[in-house]
Amino acid sequence: MARPETLPQEEIDRLLEDVIAALKTVYDPEIPADIYELGLIYRIEISDERHVNLDMTLTAPGCPVAGEMPGWVENAVSTVPGVQGATVNMVFDPPWDQSRMSDEARVALDMW
């Protein structure tokens, strides 16, 4: 099996930008901010095969949508043109805290 060619940096940058845009369409139903701005995405890695691996967490391990959220994320990322698939790994170390939120999320949640 032939090894795929290394993706050019410009293509990785484009895919990353589009993946982040897709992540910003996924919301925790209990919080009016998207998962990216909340700081729930810890790692995004794009392979030369155009598969996206993500590490993400939840605001709390007992989150009511814990079983569904990874599927929502995989579905959103998989719709990005050029992405061949996505895998979400749930991680809880380090635990999420409010310092991971962007200013945009802080404004949306009135947490200044």
The C-alpha atoms of residue 111 and residue 94 are separated, in whole angstroms, by 21
pLDDT tens-digit map of 6-63: 999 999 999 999 999 999 999 988 888 999 999 999 999 999 999 999 999 998 878 8
**Residue-level pLDDT at 62:** 83
Average pLDDT over residues 64-93: 95
| φ, ψ dihedrals at 76, nearest 5° | -65, -45
**pLDDT score at 110:** 86
Q: What is the average per-residue pLDDT within 74-90? A: 97
The model's confidence at residue 1, banded by pLDDT at 50, 70 and 90, is: low
